[in-house]
Each structure stands twice: as structure tokens, then as C-alpha cells.
Amino acid sequence: MALRTLFTKKSLTLASAFRPIAVASTAGDQRLGSGLSQARGLTVAALPDLPYDYGALEPAISGEIMRLHHQKHHQAYVTNYNNALEQLEAAIAMGDATAVVRLQSAIKFNGGGHINHSIFWKNLKPVNEGGGEPPHSSLGWAIDTDFGSLEALVQKMNAEGAALQGSGWVWLALDKGFKKLTVETTANQDPLVTKGANLVPLLGIDVWEHAYYLQYKNVRPDYLKNIWKVIDWKYASEVYEKETA
Amino acid sequence: MQHHTLSCCGGVRPSLPPPLSFRWSKIKRERCRRLPRCARIAAQLELKAPPYSLSSLEPHMSRETLEYHWGRHHRAHVASLNNLIAGTDLDGMGLDEIVVVSYNKGNPLPPFVHAAQVWNHDFFWQSIKPGGGGRPSGRLMELIERDFGSFDRMLEEFKRAALTQFGSGWAWLVYKANRLDVGNAVNPCPSEKDNKLVVLKSPNAVNPIVWDYFPLLAIDVWEHAYYLDYENRRADYVSIFLEKLVSWEAVSDRLDVAIERAAERAREDETRRQEDDTAVSHSEAVEMYLDSDTDDSEAE
Ligand SMILES: [Fe+2]
């Protein structure tokens, strides 16, 4: 538990070195979006705390995997995203369009990594706290309607997750436009929104090798089979209800 | 020492474009009949063992990593490839040709990922050796210094490529022969100096032979290549690979083949050009305006 708290809620203020003196960067700040811009600095991303211990998902996911995944991988996405944002703000302030464009891939990758993992941790829950309990409420009905049954959905996500080449994610998404559930995959750290502006992530499963390799080695299907034992359907249901209300 | 030369299956060029109406399940048998070595119909591609024992790269790459990486991942790609191509006309082609044909000009067919990963892993195991590392010499070093400024700058660029391949994939040092991949234009004065060493990266299974480059060195940056030994520390793995594992002899031997191959192809291009010139001078002027017909005949 102590280790986890080390990584919570850091906030950086931009060093003045990144801001050329006397450059009015109002326009640039607006482009960053209201959630990010402040008068004197960026609100940076922070590694979220896990709502359970690293070992609490065993035996489905080992404590060692959870520790590395959270402390190292997610932390690296957060750090690199923040670095890229600082550089972006400087580039915008200087009107350096080339630099702004060049930073896009790092922002997409690391920002995506931060977004995806933040969702992923909420999708998991220890068995003794309700992990693996099937969804009841309206999400349960929607799954039956759109996929036939929960088993059919699980099978579909396992198949698509296993077939995904390289690194990426498999998602249960709500398409807000069509009010319909769909299964999507994204490559690398592309967040779900890259597949459609109407898509809301209810459940994301990380199929990067770092998510399972220490325990499952090359057998990704076994990881996919076991992860359902610690899926927090309550979280997915809450998001679904909020988005369909 | 074994090498992958880019010749395959009776000397077919890896860059041979597939027919426009290409479907992988319907590859024309005629393609293969022209090629004598394709007589081995239904030849199963084999899992090639690394040219050293599985524990001999320790402590830089553990026996356990090789047991999984070679013994499971590489083996599974060989099995999947054999399954997928059995009974299709890819069956019996050389691995290089399967890679290029199944890449299908950027719309990969199902066997591509497996064919390319078999190629990549064969090449990877032969790129490293116990007691590797150090510095190259001879022509390889000369070209590295010519094209990157210095050996260290090449290493830097290679590391950067390996670290910025976002997700699974490979980083490469390749020999890039400066060819114009169009039928109607020529390099007016081709020279060896047009050819270059280049560092690049590729996602997932993609292999630079599909872009007509000649690979000299590859590092696998899929997490399975380093996770058991280095966990998330890809940078450490890449550094150790360059300092302790890479076989510059293998890279150097490949460069010799690449240069020879490029020269051979330049000679072939020159011969073809002379033949075309002769053909044009003998043809009647009116034919030169029949665009589509002449294009077809000249494409041969
Ligand atoms: Fe991950």
C-alpha cells in the first residue's frame, strides 16, 4: 500500500523556461482545452491509485504483473505524456507548427496509454469484493439483446483479443449514437475514441504482452479466459447507466 | 554461417509484384511452374534452430527467454504458416517470396504475419551470438561512417528506432539500394554511392524486404523478446543487445551479399534498358502512342 501512495496526485507547474518571455499564448492555451489549460501552467496527468492491492487479483493476475504494470508501465505513460504536453505548450507558444505536429504521435501513444490503463484498473476487482459477478441491471439486458448472452460476449472478446496482432486492447463499447453495444479492438495504445467519437468504453482488456507475460507467457488465450474472474461488471454497469440515462 | 540471401525459389525477385487480381487462395499455378526449385510441392517450412545452444547467450538473454521465444513463439509461427499455406499456391514458394507475396502491397493476407515472423526470427537468431558486441570493421565500418557520421551515431539512431517503436515490432539496419520502382523512369547515372545504410523501424511483423530493402541487422522489440529478462526496461535490453550480443560478422557478411545483389540487379536493369531501347528503335513510331498496349508488353 505504501508504494501506491508514492505515485498519487503529483502536479507540476511549468518551468518558466518553457515559456518564452512576453509571448501571449492565450490562443495556444485555448486550443489545449479547458480541462488542461490554466493561467500559469498545465494540469498534468497523474498515476491513479489502485483501489485494491497488487496481489488482490491473484491467482487470475499475479501481484508482480500488477506491480510492474501499474508502477512501471502506466507510470511511464504518465511521465512521457506530461513531458510531451510541456513540449507541446512550448511549441504552441512559439508558434512552432512543425514541433506541434511532431509531438502528436507521442501524445497519442502516451496519453492513450494513460487513458486506457486508468479505465483498465477500474474494470478489475478482487473476487471477494465482487470481481467476476455477472452484470444484472440494464447492462445485463443490453448484453443479452446485442450478443445473445454474456457467454457469447465473452467468447467474442476472447476471440478478438487473441487474434489481435501485436499489442493493443479489446473493448466492450457503448455506441451512444446507435444505443448499441459493440466489441472493438484498438492497436497499441490507441484509445477507444479513435474508433469513433460516439464510442464510450465500458470495459477494456489490455492484451499487450506486459499484461500477462510473466504469468501466462505466450498463451494469451489463457490470460483472456482467466481475466473474467476479476472483471468488475459493476463499474461497467454504472458507466452504461450514466451514459444511457 | 547461414545467410538469408534475398534470392529465393529459383531467383525470383522479392520485389516481384503480385498480379493485380491477386487472391491468396487462387495464386496461379503457372507462377510456380516456371521455377525449378518449386518442384518440392507441399514442402513444410521448418523451424530453424539458433546456431548456438539456448543457454549460451546468458546472462544477457536467458535460456528461459529462448525456450519461449524460439521454442514457443517462433515455433508457433512456423506451424501456423504451414497450416495456412497448405494446399494454396504459396505452398512450395521460398520464405522470402511468401513474405513479399502475402504482404500483398500493404493489404496483408492471413499468412503474412506468420511468414514475416518466421523470417524475422530466423534472421534475429542469426544476428546475435555468444560473445557478440564490439565494433565492426572493414567495408561495413566504412559505410557506417559514411552514412551516419560515426559508429556511435548509428548506434544512437538504432536505439532511438528501437525505443520509439510504439508497441510491438522491430528495428532494423538495412542496405537501401536506390532503385526507382516504376517501369518508365530510370536513374540516369546509377552508382554504388546511391545506395545507403539506413535505420528504420517496423510495426508488428512487417519486414523491410516488402519495401525492397536488404536487411542487415534486426532487433525484436516485442515485449516477449525481453520481458522475462528485462521486464519493462526495453532500453536496457537494446543496449545489452548492441554491447554484448550483436554479431557484426553476420552483419558484415550480409552487407557483402547486399552489395553484390544490388550490383547484379543494376546490371540486369542496364541489360533490360538496352533491350528496351533496341525494341523501341525497331518498332514503328505509331506504336509509341498506344499507351496501354505498349505498357503491358513492356512490363514483361
Ligand atoms: Fe498495459
pLDDT tens-place string over residues A34-49: 334 444 467 899 999 9
pLDDT tens-place string over residues A7-21: 333 333 333 333 333
Around Cβ B10, how many Cβ atoms within 10 Å?
Answer: 15
Question: Looking at residue A148, which CATH number applies to its domain?
Answer: 3.55.40.20
pLDDT tens-place string over residues A46-78: 999 999 999 999 999 999 999 999 999 999 999
Check the annotation: does A70 bind a ligand: no
Q: Which residues form the domain of A220?
A: 129-244
Are residue A89 and residue A184 in the same domain, yes or no? no
Domain tally for chain A? 2
Query: How do the domains of chain B map onto residue ranges?
Result: 63-256
- Residue B124 at interface with chain A, using a CB cutoff of 8 Å: no
A72 and B232 within 8 Å at the Cβ level: the answer is yes
Q: Which three cell numbers stand for residue A168?
A: 493493443
Pick among 3.55.40.20, 3.40.640.10, 2.40.50.100, 2.30.29.30: CATH of B63-256: 3.55.40.20
The answer to whether B103 and B116 have CB atoms below 8 angstroms apart is yes
Q: Pick the last residue of a domain from A90, A108, A125.
A: A125
With residue B172 as reference, give the H or E element that holds it: strand B169-176
A166 and B76 within 8 Å at the Cβ level: the answer is no
In a domain, A30, yes or no: no
Question: Looking at residue A71, which CATH number applies to its domain?
Answer: 1.10.287.990
Sign of the C-alpha dihedral, residues A33, A36, A38, A40?
negative
**Nearest C-alpha of chain B: how many angstroms from A188?**
5
CA A158 to each of CA A186, B191, B202: distance values in angstroms, whole numbers, following the listed order: 14, 53, 26
Chain A residue numbers with beta carbons less than 8 Å from the beta carbon of B166 are 105, 109, 188-189
Are residue A140 and residue A97 in the same domain, yes or no? no
In a domain, A44, yes or no: no
Answer left, alpha or beta for residue A10, where phi above 0 means left and psi between -120 and 50 means alpha.
beta
Are residue A185 and residue A207 in the same domain, yes or no? yes
Give, in degrees to the nearest 5, the angle at Cα A149 between A145 and A150.
Answer: 115
- Smallest CA-to-CA distance from B131 within B61, B189, B190 is with B61
Q: Pick the last residue of a domain from A92, A125, A158.
A: A125
pLDDT tens sequence for chain B (300 residues): 344 433 333 333 444 444 434 455 544 344 444 444 444 455 689 999 999 999 999 999 999 999 999 999 999 999 999 999 999 989 999 999 999 999 999 999 999 999 999 999 999 999 999 999 999 999 999 999 999 999 999 999 999 999 999 999 999 999 998 666 555 666 666 666 678 999 999 999 999 999 999 999 999 999 999 999 999 999 999 999 999 999 999 999 999 999 999 999 888 888 888 887 777 666 554 444 444 443 443 333
pLDDT at B233: 98
CA B1 to each of CA A81, B10, B69, B252: distance values in angstroms, whole numbers, following the listed order: 45, 21, 21, 12
The answer to whether A113 and A206 have CB atoms below 8 angstroms apart is no
pLDDT at B77: 97
In a domain, A13, yes or no: no
pTM: 0.81
Share of chain A above pLDDT 90, in %: 81
Q: What is the mean pLDDT of chain A?
A: 87
Q: Pick the last residue of a domain from A103, A125, A147.
A: A125
- Residue A208 at interface with chain B, using a CB cutoff of 8 Å: yes
In a domain, A36, yes or no: no
pLDDT tens-place string over residues A80-117: 999 999 999 999 999 999 999 999 999 999 999 999 99
Q: In whole angstroms, what is the distance from residue B204 CA to residue B96 CA?
A: 17
The answer to whether A36 and A111 have CB atoms below 8 angstroms apart is no
Count how many Cα atoms sit within 13 Å of the Cα of residue B98 in the half-sphere of its side chain: 30
DSSP string of A171-229? EEEEETTTTEEEEEEEETT--GGGG-TTEEEEEEEE-SGGGTHHHHTT-HHHHHHHHGG
Are residue A73 and residue A111 in the same domain, yes or no? yes
In a domain, A9, yes or no: no
- Residue B23 at interface with chain A, using a CB cutoff of 8 Å: no
Choose the mutation target among B227, B228, B234 for the interface with A, i.e. most A CBs under 10 Å: B227
The answer to whether B122 and B205 have CB atoms below 8 angstroms apart is no
Are residue A71 and residue A172 in the same domain, yes or no? no
- Between A134 and B191, residue with greater pLDDT: A134
